Chain A
Amino acid sequence: MPFTIDGEPWYGRVGDSLLSAILAARSDLGPLAPDGRLRAGFCLIGLCQDCWVRLADGRRVRACTTELEAGMAVLLASDEAAW
């Protein structure tokens, strides 16, 4: 399933969450911590809120509870927190 991270094309597997797809491509979700340090999710079950990312269509989603959809365009480079 094709999707993009900051415009770069990647392929995820059917059955991936957005989080598992992103983490197969790279090891973090960008500088999500309040001090700008990298985060990559923690609970993986929708409770810690450490995995909110922005999509190019303007949506903000919790990556661990969002199913990967073909064509999703994730924006991680932005310095603006996604939640």
Chain B
Amino acid sequence: MKGAPIVVVVGAGPAGVAAARRLAEAGLRPIVLDSGPEPGGRIWRNTGSGAQGLPRLPGHDPERGRHERARFVEWRERIAFYPETTVIDVTRGRLWALASSGEVDSTPWDRLIVATGALDRVVPVPGWTLPGVVTLGGAQTALKTRGCAVGRRIAFFGTGPLLYLAAAQHLAAGVEVAVVGDTSRLRDAVAAAPDLLADPARLRLGLRCLRMLRRAGVPVLRGVRGARIEGRKTVEAIVLERRRAFWRFSCDAVATGFGLVPQTQILDLLDVPFTLEETSGLWLPLLDRAGRTSIPGVYAAGDGARPLGAEAAAMAGERAALALLEDEGSRIDAGRVAQLETTLARHERFARALARAFPHPRVLEAEIADETVVCRCENVTAGDLRRAVRELDARDVSEAKAFTRCGMGRCQGRLCGLSAARILAAIRNVRLAEAGRLRSQAPVLPMPVAARRVPAEDAA
């Protein structure tokens, strides 16, 4: 006797919400788990009461968020939504999650859509562990949902469209922007310009941010080769190196990011194969066009699989849900599939253009000074990693982790893994792929010691 399959969607951002809605429409009652308090993910999350007085920020549309959340709530009867529920472990057929009550519960699953979103990619520079240094996404979240800026005078350092967007949003909120330091060069952007037209709206938004910064007299430095953050107890200044000259900007906070890293821990625990995307240096799960992994019943969508932005994430979520329905033997709307795939292809083209406009810095990590901390959880320096290669013959990041504890800490290498690989590849003089990647382990996020497992008989 086989009833309806148990379908679980992990993550209620744009991809997860779109997938769940499509599944609910088809009469499946998906279980949706999200670590946040409400659906929408970081992009469509409720702007909290602290953010009420904020002026309109470029690229931020609270109306849209409200609309998307309301649409999700309309389906409440047909979607089992569990907010503040964090998946910590998964096997083929069952997953475990930690609720805000501190209880660990588990559920069996037949089909799983993983829509876990992304984290800013960071590059360690001297001083990046000082209080006052935060990720770009973190600074945006603080501003949009809490209505508070991480500093009074903030320096923005990194590369990518988010660098300019976050800086312009802070400017619009009345925060002083000390500098925007971008490791990419103007000529990268110029070369990519024709392809950036694949998404005119986002191109326009980028240009608008740039104009706002220029008009406010914010120095925008491109082609930055190195950076150092100074301060005794907290951030006091950032020093940027460009064309062998050093520029010092006083500031009380630094927001940094170099694009996004998909949060792929759940896929990794399920042994979904990954491949290194050479241009970005990111390890991405292998997917077909619809979002199927090679593990039967496991799908991935959104920034947690391919960082293409919120609009694309919603489409990828819907596309994955349609693939799931098709795999369940349902007839699906071929016209809608074609429409989604065409639009997604356009988003991918735009993402490739962005990757060319804002390439990951080639040398920043290879040239990190020995004394700079790479792994902030375990305080492992670039020198420790290089010694592990020279003296202990560490061949990849997993071996380096065993020797140095780099990536063994409580963030599980989310922040340091990619940089450690670049440092290793540079000193061993091998291709990045040979430096390998850190594998995920359960629990995917640390659990408070007090967490209790719900006895198996009451488990969902």
User: Which residues of A are in contact with B by a Cβ distance under 8 Å?
Assistant: 13-17, 20, 23-24, 27-29, 33-35, 37-50, 52, 59-61, 64-65, 67, 83
Contacts and interface: CB of A to CB of B under 8 A. Distances in A.
B297 interface: no
Interface residues of B, number: 42
A39 B128 CA distance: 10
Interface in B49-65: 49-51
Interface string B405-417: 0000111001100
A46 B50 contact: no
Given A15-B147, A38-B233, A49 B135 contact: no
Given A40-B234, A61-B448, 18 more contacts: A15-B49, A15-B147, A16-B146, A20-B142, A20-B148, A27-B234, A28-B131, A39-B129, A41-B134, A43-B119, A44-B134, A44-B138, A44-B142, A44-B150, A46-B445, A49-B445, A50-B377, A59-B448
A40 B131 contact: yes
A33 B233 contact: no
A-B pairs with lowest CB-CB distance, top 8: A44-B138, A40-B131, A15-B50, A15-B49, A15-B48, A49-B410, A28-B131, A34-B379
Contact of A49 (B130, B263, B377): B377
B234 A45 contact: no
Contacts of B48: 15
A43 B379 contact: no
Contacts of B42: 45
A50 B376 CA distance: 8
Contacts, number: 107
Contact of A38 (B131, B150, B446): B131
What's the dominant secondary structure at chain A's contact region?
Answer: loop
B51 A42 contact: no
Interface in B97-155: 119-120, 129-135, 137-139, 141-142, 146-148, 150
Nearest to A39: B131
A10 to B, nearest CB: 14
B129 A48 contact: no
A20 to B, nearest CB: 5
A42 B138 contact: yes
Given A15-B49, A83-B410, A59 B35 contact: no
Nearest to B405: A34
Interface of B: 35, 37, 42, 48-51, 119-120, 129-135, 137-139, 141-142, 146-148, 150, 233-234, 263, 376-379, 409-411, 414-415, 445-446, 448-450
Given A47-B119, A60-B449, A83-B446, A42 B414 contact: no
A33 B48 CA distance: 30
A23 to B, nearest CB: 8
A43 B445 contact: no
Contacts of A59: 448, 450
A2 B48 CA distance: 18
Contact of B132 (A14, A27, A44, A52): A27
Given A27-B131, A33-B379, A40-B132, A48 B415 contact: yes
B446 A49 contact: yes
Contacts of A60: 448-450
Contacts of B130: 38
Contacts of B49: 13-15
Contacts of A48: 376, 411, 414-415
Contact of A15 (B132, B146, B234, B377): B146
Nearest to A64: B138
A37 B35 CA distance: 29
Contacts of A61: 448
Nearest to A50: B376
